[in-house]
Structure 1
Amino acid sequence: MHVPTRLRRAVAVVCATALATSPLLVAPTTAGAASAATPTARAAMPHLTATLTKKTIRVKGADRLRAGRVHFAVKGAGIVEFVTFDKGYDVADFTRDVNRFGAKNDMKALKRAIRNATIIGGFAGGGSGTIVFPRPGAYTPFAIGQRGVVTGKTLVVRGPVRSSSAPRTDGRILAKRGLAWGGASTLPANGRFLFKNKRSAAVPHFVVLQQVAAGTTTDQVLQFLQSGEEGPPPSWVLPGSMETGSLSPGRSMTVDYDLPPGQYVVMCFFPDPEMQGMPHALMGMLRMINLT
């Protein structure tokens, strides 16, 4: 299993750029869309598909799109997410701030991006699930690559909000106040979970699931992350892994997944704006769960 020594710069609003000096615990994403996700549950929803290239993001299925829940799938190498901006702040501002943070670890730029942008979720290439456009307005697909932010054409989502129930899920993963995880301690190895970033969490979060050997503790993982060690990963790091796009506080999405059974550590590597961009996992945002 290949484990890069630098965190992949394609996770969320500014996350991976903050991690350029930290070793990567997770392997390249191996999870596919879960076969348990039923076509019937998705039939009432619009379907969006984003294709990520080195220079742009192409989105299909956005014609006459209304606010509400949509099924979203991603193709390409990287994570595609949707973001909407406060009045007076736009995609050019966002791109400049994210790139400035990535290049110079500029905390003012990081805070400005978080304060003025609402991220509503997304998926890695090959992944899928549902996201919610909460209200009519403009939403921009973006990814963060080796050369900084890549964006696609902004979608105009119209009203009124279309009513649509969330698909059935097998459990929840909750990002909570105090850089803590909650929700299910056991999930099926193939299924769908609800990821919710609670409003009280106050900052964006995303989910990394990394398979580890049975009996591995969060203390072991934290010690490795904080050590800054490069080279081969520890023997307790196993191949199964996946990650999601980010969610701003108060947002949720459903995530389809298919992973090997076993023990997993749940992590978030979003950079903390009050701790000079330190990734949340290095601050102890870790939890062990089991996939059966």
Structure 2
Amino acid sequence: MKGNKLFLMGLLLIMVVIAACGPAAPAGVADPTPKQAQAPVSTDASAAMDTHTEMAMGTPIEAQDSALTEQPAAHSAIAGNFPLGRFVSVHDKAIAYQFNRDGSFAFYFASKDPVLIGVYAVTGNLITMMDPNETNPNCKDAVPYKWSFDGTHLTFAPDSDDPCRGRREANADTYAVETTYLPEIVIDASDYAYSAPDTISAGWVRVRLTNSGQEPHHVQFLRLNDGVTLAQFQEALRQGEGPALALVKQMGGVGAIAPTLSAQVVLNLPAGEYVILCLIPSPSDHLPHLAKGMIKGLIVEPASGTAALEPKADLTVRMQDFAYDLPEALPAGQLSIQVINNGPEAHEFNILRLADGKTANDVLQYLGAPDGPPPFTPVGGMNGLDKGLSGYAELDLTPGTYVAICNIPSPVAEGHPHFTLGMIKMFSVSSPASTSFPTGRFISVNDKARAYQFNPDGTFAFFLGGKDPVVQGNYIVIGDLLSVRNPDETDPKCQGSVTYQWSFRDNKLSFTPIGQDTCRSRRDSFSDTYTGS
């Protein structure tokens, strides 16, 4: 209970610090799918910094009744447990099917572009596929096939004669799952309500947040502990955030975004009863948005059928008390970042785009004494995750300077928000230079037993006198900067990402450190020059 009181004190402190803002800076992020034009930022952007504010003790907070339901698929094709995604022939990797949620499909044959696009419908264990643009009279009519899926392999069998030879031969094959459809929900945040589904299926789900309001908004997913009801959670809110947080688990969400923007994350939601809410305060009266109606119940039902596979990340960021393991530079464009909370406290990975010429110190100074327009624009990221949980922040950043920041107050540090304890990190986003980083195997000019292998998929391996690598990791290149990290590293001094400047001339690859690298073995390996083999 003492920790909860300190937590609330920190929230009250932030409420006093954060005030209304002046004109806003330009936005820097467009939603990955679809792209959207950048828009001006609301004058209330700084309010988004207070993602964990007071819960308006003593103020009645009622969940908004909503008749909104999850938008149905555009086609009835996914009836039953038919799997969605891409499926590759087990006999010929050049042959593949792509089945989409909207009832469309594509067939690939030795090409990146589909050779056939059509529609399909599923009834029980029967599937019919048809190309509406088909000119061959033998292939115009839809013919049913029996389908079966064992979790990894999709197989078809004719239910009747099919006069279409091409379709008959394609459906005589067995296909292995390559990617499984990732379900998506869209939540619109207005002033002050959510338009969101009432129920979704458990498992991995993409959550896309749009902001149609005039103030910044985010969405935080909280899973009620087993046996806890929404009414009990609302009653706990009246007592303060401490009692409320004791009844839930923070499962992540979409970080704060400015008006007109959108952002998305991928979360793994187990079945149960949830609430989604917005903790950002309004600058006019300092009441958190949830007190004005931005709180909604959500049921996550047990999944039926094929579960979506966990997505793949371009980069992993680990959070801990009180720092981010994050490179100093990221590439512009679409980037999927796995966000892991190593704790022990709850953390978030909110992203702010800085105004031109501003730094992290300007953000801290503004938060300490707000005056004039904020030097940042909230553009998304991952909201609060409890220790041991993870999710994926799907970003689409434009070139510029950003900070990652955690606004959650610490119950063991007198309620001070985590960014005052060091949990703020500035990084740059740049378009890749025209010069490409070389890939392949590179051998030390001083010791033939030492070698680096850089692969086109962003992985690397370091060899030291053996056929098997002694280190494996990931790398990102932006211009002449190379950021590397080993996700399996156990040495604390070597766990973080580090950036080196690289050059490649006359078939020789060399590196120069940017900043200090505390990992001795990595520092020694990058102090060498390597020749391409």
Q: TM-score, normalised by structure 1?
A: 0.72
The 3-state SS of whatever aligns with 1:207 is: strand
**Residue identity opposite 1:173 in structure 2:** V
Give, in angstroms, the shift of residue 71 of structure 1. 1.5
The 3-state SS of whatever aligns with 1:19 is: helix
Residues 75 and 288 of structure 1: is their aligned pair in 2 closer, same or farther, counting only changes over 3 Å? closer
Residues 212 and 82 of structure 1: is their aligned pair in 2 closer, same or farther, counting only changes over 3 Å? closer
The 3-state SS of whatever aligns with 2:365 is: helix
Q: Matched residues, percent identical?
A: 19
* Structure 2 partner of 1:290: 428
Give, in angstroms, the shift of residue 50 of structure 1. 1.7
* Distance in 2, Cα, partners of 1:122 & 1:53: 16
* Distance in 1, Cα, partners of 2:394 & 2:355: 23
Residue 172 in structure 1 maps to residue 316 in structure 2:
yes
Q: 2:327 aligns with which of 178, 181, 184?
A: 184
Task: Summarize the alignment of residues 109-128 of structure 1 with structure 2, pairs less than 5 Å apart.
Answer: 109-110=241-242, 112-123=243-254, 124=256, 126-128=262-264
* Structure 1 partner of 2:30: 32
Residues 233 and 281 of structure 1: is their aligned pair in 2 closer, same or farther, counting only changes over 3 Å? farther
Q: 1:19 aligns with which of 14, 20, 23?
A: 14
Q: 1:174-206 CA deviation, whole Å, 9 max, x = no partner?
A: 212x211114333222213324242x3122222
Residues 82 and 222 of structure 1: is their aligned pair in 2 closer, same or farther, counting only changes over 3 Å? closer
The 3-state SS of whatever aligns with 2:369 is: coil
* Structure 1 partner of 2:388: 250
Task: Summarize the alignment of residues 23-62 of structure 1 with structure 2, pairs less than 5 Å apart.
Answer: 23=18, 30-35=28-33, 44-54=181-191, 56-60=193-197, 62=199
* Structure 2 partner of 1:157: 301
Q: Give yes or no for contact 1:173–1:193 (8 Å, CA) kept in 2.
A: no
Larger Rg: 2
Q: 1:147-187 CA deviation, whole Å, 9 max, x = no partner?
A: 442222321321469532333433223212x2111143332
Q: 1:47-90 CA deviation, whole Å, 9 max, x = no partner?
A: 2122334454332384xx43210121123341122211113533
* Distance in 1, Cα, partners of 2:266 & 2:415: 29
* Structure 1 partner of 2:202: 67
Q: Provide the alpha-carbon RMSD of the alignment.
A: 3.8
**Residue identity opposite 2:29 in structure 1:** A
Give, in angstroms, the shift of residue 267 of structure 1. 1.0
Give, in angstroms, the shift of residue 100 of structure 1. 4.7
* Distance in 1, Cα, partners of 2:247 & 2:312: 32
* Structure 2 partner of 1:230: 370
Task: Summarize the alignment of residues 130-141 of structure 1 with structure 2, pairs less than 5 Å apart.
Answer: 130-133=266-269, 135-141=270-276
* Distance in 1, Cα, partners of 2:34 & 2:310: 15
**Residue identity opposite 2:31 in structure 1:** A
* Distance in 1, Cα, partners of 2:15 & 2:306: 40
* Structure 2 partner of 1:266: 404
Task: Summarize the alignment of residues 141-152 of structure 1 with structure 2, pairs less than 5 Å apart.
Answer: 141-145=276-280, 146=282, 147-148=287-288, 149=290, 150-152=294-296
Residues 33 and 192 of structure 1: is their aligned pair in 2 closer, same or farther, counting only changes over 3 Å? same
* Distance in 2, Cα, partners of 1:70 & 1:47: 6
Residues 270 and 27 of structure 1: is their aligned pair in 2 closer, same or farther, counting only changes over 3 Å? farther
* Distance in 2, Cα, partners of 1:118 & 1:205: 12
* Structure 2 partner of 1:196: 339
Give, in angstroms, the shift of residue 269 of structure 1. 0.6
Gaps of 5+ in 1: 1-12, 102-108
The 3-state SS of whatever aligns with 1:94 is: helix
Residues 186 and 154 of structure 1: is their aligned pair in 2 closer, same or farther, counting only changes over 3 Å? same
